[in-house]
Amino acid sequence: MGGLTEAKLRALAGERSFERGLAYADEVSGVEFGDGWIRASVRGTERYEVELLLGGRGKPAGTCDCPYGQEGNFCKHLVALGLTVIAQEADLPRRRKAARDRTRSLDAWLTGLSRDDLLVLVRKEMAEDRDLRRRLELRAASACGDVAGIRSRIRELLDSGPFARYGYVEYADARAYADQAGQVVSAIRSLTASGRAADAMALAREAIGTLAAVVGSVDDSDGRLGGIGAGLADAHREACRAAGPDPEELARWLVAHALDDAADLTDLDPLDYEDLLGERGRAALRRYTVEAWQANRTGWAEKHLMQRLAKSARDVDTVIAVHAVDLAPNGRTHLLIARELDTAGRTAEALEWAERGIRETADLATVDPALIDHLADRYTRIDRSADALTLRRDRFAACRTLLAYQQLRAAALAAECWPTEREKALALLRADAGPADTRGHRVLVDILLDDGDVDAAWRTAGEYGAHDGQWLTLADRSRPTRPADALAVYLRLATCLTRETGNHAYEQLVRLLLHIRDCHRRLGTPDDFTAYVTDLRAAQKRKRNLMRLMDEYGL
């Protein structure tokens, strides 16, 4: 059966899923064998249906309806089934033959039944299986063109009431509801296939609206209802292509749907219908969209639809007009407009909008950093380095962060005036950061370290304090020239880590010990390090992983 092995399962699933799958080997039940496939149920968070595809030239593959498996991954449930198959490998030929024999026997028995006997059988099964009865009722209604009957069945299928507890469908019941609701898609497609495309189109719209109203009361963590919504959207498009609806009426519905909450469910794009709309329908689509936007110029859905249509028509001015009605106070919208104009080759207007975004922002500290970067880049491209420097200087004055300082430095280096700008920036930081301003001094330490001015960073940290990460960086940078100072930092940090447990803490401690050993070597005091490690081992001897790690590094 395809030579399935644990090594192949491990390679397909990855180490983590394989190891987790080992724990599920006893949860496999209802194993069924077919020609090249094996199916089963695996109990996890809930019961999942799993199928392994074996044999042939390709490597083994599989599907599982758990959330991880639905993303296309070879999950732990597939591993569990694979391990079950491997354990039963010697019995596989017999079980496959038995499966083929059962299929042949069933076919032969059904073929031998009379029409009346088949009817009795089907009716009996329908009485015992509610889902089967619903599926057959839908098929019968479709075959007879019974639109009223189909509509009634669809409403039943989308009714979440039987699955809801206290008015809400919980996660444990959501899958069963989704399995039932999913039958609506095939019913609508069957109606289209039977020549009733106009009815299918109307029912698809109703089903989309009904499902959208239900989604909020269902725990759809696995996204199954979203998949059904997409299926309904596809079924609607298929019906439209077959029915050839009135273009204006279709345009009106598409706009109404795009502005409705149901749009999030289906992800239906009006532009996908352009070939069905024709010139008259496209004109109506634009007209209805403009009317909706004019009635609510700041509505997200209205703006998005207007921009989609305008971009499709390469109407940059309309895109800008939509943005301009609702300008964000941080300059983000100005940036979007500038980018649209740049793409259209209207660079002068783009620059004007970017500059306007800076001017109209009350506080440069709150302006979108991407707008600052965009404008500074444009200034540099058109040989306005002085303006780029002024912009970066003003930004740093308003927002004194390491990133703003680095960007100021880059602009000043390009303008060949960094030493002067650096002194001004550092003076601004020192004047602004009072004794109680811990954050300001820590930013200053980061900036001095970034500049490579380690001695000044040491002085600032020693006078005003620094966080442990900064002290560690200072020690690492200074170890060759100031081993005694670095040693004091390492010893303090190591003492803190000895109070912690876990491999991550042990790895950090060992790295510090290696640095401590290097400091003692530079200071000519190796015996002090030996005594320190001896005492440390005695105090930490119960931490076996730490002792093993220290042994690995010769500590």
Q: Is 543 helix (H, G, I), strand (E, B) or coil?
A: coil
Q: Where does the pLDDT of residue 437 fall: very low under 50, low under 70, confident under 90, or very high at 90 and above?
A: low
**Looking at the domain assignment, is residue 43 inside a domain?**
yes
pLDDT digits (tens, 9 = 90+) for 328-352: 999 999 999 999 999 999 999 999 9
| Across 34-43, 211-220, 378-387, least confident range | 34-43
**Domain co-membership, 184 together with 108:** no
**Domain co-membership, 91 together with 126:** no
**Domain co-membership, 44 together with 69:** yes
pLDDT digits (tens, 9 = 90+) for 248-270: 999 999 999 999 988 888 888 89
**Is pLDDT larger for residue 191 or for residue 436?**
191
**Looking at the domain assignment, is residue 365 inside a domain?**
no
Residue 188 burial (10 A CB sphere; 0-12, 13-18, 19+): buried
**Looking at the domain assignment, is residue 283 inside a domain?**
no
**Looking at the domain assignment, is residue 516 inside a domain?**
yes
**Domain co-membership, 101 together with 122:** no
**Looking at the domain assignment, is residue 135 inside a domain?**
yes
pLDDT digits (tens, 9 = 90+) for 9-23: 888 889 888 998 998
pTM: predicted TM-score of the whole model, two decimal places: 0.66
Overall domain count for the chain = 3
User: Domain range spanning residue 540?
Assistant: 478-552
Predicted local distance difference test score (pLDDT) of residue 280: 94
**Over residues 61-75, mean pLDDT:** 84
Token code pair at residue 320: 């800008």
Q: Where does the pLDDT of residue 420 fall: very low under 50, low under 70, confident under 90, or very high at 90 and above?
A: very high
Predicted local distance difference test score (pLDDT) of residue 32: 86
Predicted local distance difference test score (pLDDT) of residue 435: 57
Predicted local distance difference test score (pLDDT) of residue 198: 93
Q: Where does the pLDDT of residue 191 fall: very low under 50, low under 70, confident under 90, or very high at 90 and above?
A: confident
pLDDT digits (tens, 9 = 90+) for 311-321: 988 899 999 99
**Domain co-membership, 11 together with 101:** yes
**Domain co-membership, 129 together with 61:** no
Q: What percent of the chain has pLDDT over 70?
A: 97
Decide if 169 contacts 177 (C-beta within 8 A). yes
Residue 160 has pLDDT above 50, yes or no: yes
Q: Which of 112, 135, 153 represents a domain boundary (last residue)?
A: 112
**Over residues 271-285, mean pLDDT:** 93
Residue 477 has pLDDT above 50, yes or no: yes
Residue 439 has pLDDT above 80, yes or no: no
**Domain co-membership, 74 together with 138:** no
Q: Which of 245, 271, 287 represents a domain boundary (last residue)?
A: 245
Decide if 428 contacts 421 (C-beta within 8 A). no
**Looking at the domain assignment, is residue 97 inside a domain?**
yes
Residue 131 has pLDDT above 80, yes or no: no
**Looking at the domain assignment, is residue 74 inside a domain?**
yes
Question: Under 8 Å CB-to-CB from 234, ≥6 apart: which residues?
Answer: 185
Q: Which of 64, 87, 112 represents a domain boundary (last residue)?
A: 112
Among the listed residues 41, 43, 433, the one whose alpha carbon sits nearest the alpha carbon of residue 52: 41
Please spell the DSSP secondary structure of 202-234, one letter per residue.
Answer: HHHHHHHHHHHHHHTTB--TT-HHHHHHHHHHH
Strand ranges (E), 219-294: none
Q: What percent of the chain has pLDDT over 90?
A: 55
Among the listed residues 224, 233, 228, the one whose alpha carbon sits nearest the alpha carbon of residue 173: 224
Question: Under 8 Å CB-to-CB from 162, ≥6 apart: which residues?
Answer: none
**Domain co-membership, 79 together with 130:** no
**Domain co-membership, 213 together with 141:** yes
**Domain co-membership, 180 together with 65:** no
Predicted local distance difference test score (pLDDT) of residue 1: 45
> Mean pLDDT over all residues of the chain?
89
**Domain co-membership, 145 together with 239:** yes
3-state per-residue secondary structure call for 103-158: HHHHHHHHHHCCHHHHHHHHHHHHHHCHHHHHHHHHHHHHHHCCHHHHHHHHHHHH
Please spell the DSSP secondary structure of 361-422, one letter per residue.
Answer: -S-TTTS-HHHHHHHHHHHHHTT-HHHHHHHHHHHHHHS--HHHHHHHHHHHHHTT-HHHHH
**Domain co-membership, 14 together with 135:** no
**Looking at the domain assignment, is residue 388 inside a domain?**
no
